[in-house]
Amino acid sequence: MEKMKIRTNESAASSQFTDLESLMNGCNKIIPHFKELGIGTLTTELLGDAILNDCAKIASIASQQAQNDTKSIKSPSIRKSMIEGVERAVFVFEQECAIILRGENRNLVKYLTVKKSCVEIVPEAKEAIEEQNTYFISDPKEIELYNLHIAACDAINKFMEALEVKPFHLTSPYRLFPDHAEPADCLYSSFFTDK
């Protein structure tokens, strides 16, 4: 079935990309805190865990490592103290993540990756965000109405030129008159984008 692009909400896409850059910067601030846990290198998977799952996997890895590291210790109280120390370190890391990433759009983590202990935006992120903020139609009736609306815009432009009035140069059904939204804009937007 034919799929026709109607428009891209560039403002929303730009805002979302700015949010992504902010999330990336925040994530880079948590890397030193992760290193303090001593459980290896931060990976993309563990970054997602820290952002979306309240560090559940990180806590599990740290706990397992603490159990393994303390197996050879004979004293139960020393072993317990060391394990509690690891649990406290994970709790502090969780709190740091919560503070640093407060207010961030955490759902954008899918567009982040960890390379060489640095959080980066994946190359396809910008295109994917634009795609998410693009409106398409595919129903034949919608495409017919859209094409009729474009034809009406062209007819109004020709009419305005014939009247020798400064033409509006309508190419989009979203702006029939400059500098404000009108009933046709509202009707068109609600028909195609509010489904």
In this prediction, residues 26-49 reach a mean pLDDT of 91
C-alpha distance from residue 110 to each of 58, 59, 114, 192 (Å): 18, 21, 11, 28
DSSP string, the chain: ---EEEEE-HHHHHHHHHHHHHHHHHHHHHHHHHHTT-S----HHHHHHHHHSTTHHHHHHHHHHHHHHTTT---HHHHHHHHHHHHHHHHHHHHHHHHHTTT--GGGGGGEEEETTEEEE-TTHHHHHHHHTEEEE--HHHHHHHHHHHHHHHHHHHHHHHTTSPP----STT-SSTTS--HHHHHHHHHHH--
**pLDDT at residue 177 tops 60:** no
Tell me: pLDDT of 178 over 50.
no
Of the pLDDT bands very low, low, confident and very high (cuts 50, 70, 90), residue 145 is confident
Report, as an integer, the average pLDDT of 57-76: 90
Evaluate if residue 163 carries a pLDDT over 80: no
Q: Among the listed ranges 149-153, 158-162, 187-191, which one has the minimum average pLDDT value?
A: 187-191
Average model confidence (pLDDT) across the chain:
83
Q: What local confidence, expressed as pLDDT, does residue 171 receive?
A: 54
Poorest-pLDDT segment among 26-30, 116-120, 184-188: 184-188
